[in-house]
Amino acid sequence: MFLISTVKIKKTPKKGRGVFATANIKAGRVIGDYIGKIIRPEEENEKEQGLYVMWGNDEMSILGNPKERGIHLINHSCMPNCGMYIVKGHTIFFALRKIHKGEEFTISYCLEPKDKECDPCAHKCGCETMFCKGTMHETKKAERAYSAYLQKLKNKNKNNIEHAKYNEKLKPLVSYPKFIPDQPIHPVFGNTEKQRLNLKSKNPSLKNMREQIRKTGRTLYLPLKKTEIIGIKNGQIIKRKTV
């Protein structure tokens, strides 16, 4: 379910359908709620259901309907511009940084580390971004950290899906927050197709760079160092030298 009206679903060259912004979206803006049918974890079947299942809790999952509009149609990327947050047990997507008009909404699917059952693997990534990993699978370390983050949010928030019934559609919340504050566990990458933002400071702080990327949705450029700051991930600066 989308919680903003400025979205458009259209075909992409290599990823099937995609969800695109029809207006600029501010950092932190809530995009939508993952709504679908309540199923038991043992009923999950990727071959039949595709990648439309979202973990609800240890006893239930949410199956999005590919025939309906909603955030379950947002594609995976290794340089996502959206992140996940938990509100009263519901998984919502929000903008990690400014998303520019015409830009595709993307999110990391954060699939569990590849195991023997995933052979041959059907989870190859086709995002073709600058830092594409070639797979939708996370490392064990990253998966543990992200799972702990989501579980902490679920424990912190009153869970409205505990009383949901199997095989029924999850009911939307009565109200939603409009914005989510920055969540450091999420990486923040600037749009590499937009003009870089020149920084006057020679040694800007990590906090300042993250704030600038979130606010502008652009990569940053340090002229004196001839360095482009692509993003911030796990507290580390992702950068490249320029000529």
DSSP-H helix ranges across 110-185: 140-156
Q: What is the pLDDT of residues 180-204, one digit of tens each?
A: 999 999 999 999 999 999 998 888 9
CA 38-104-137 angle, 5° bins: 60
CA contacts within 13 A on the Cβ side of 63: 19
Total count of residues recorded for the chain = 243
Which residues is 54 bridged to in the sheet?
62
Domains of the chain: 7-156 (2.170.270.10), 188-241 (no CATH)
The tens digit of pLDDT for each residue in 139-182 reads 888 888 888 888 888 777 666 676 678 999 999 999 999 999 99
**Residue from 18, 16, 14 nearest 126 by CA:** 14
Summarize pLDDT for 75-115 with one digit per residue, the tens: 999 999 999 999 988 999 999 999 999 999 999 998 888 88
Question: Is the whole model's pTM more than 0.85, yes or no?
Answer: yes
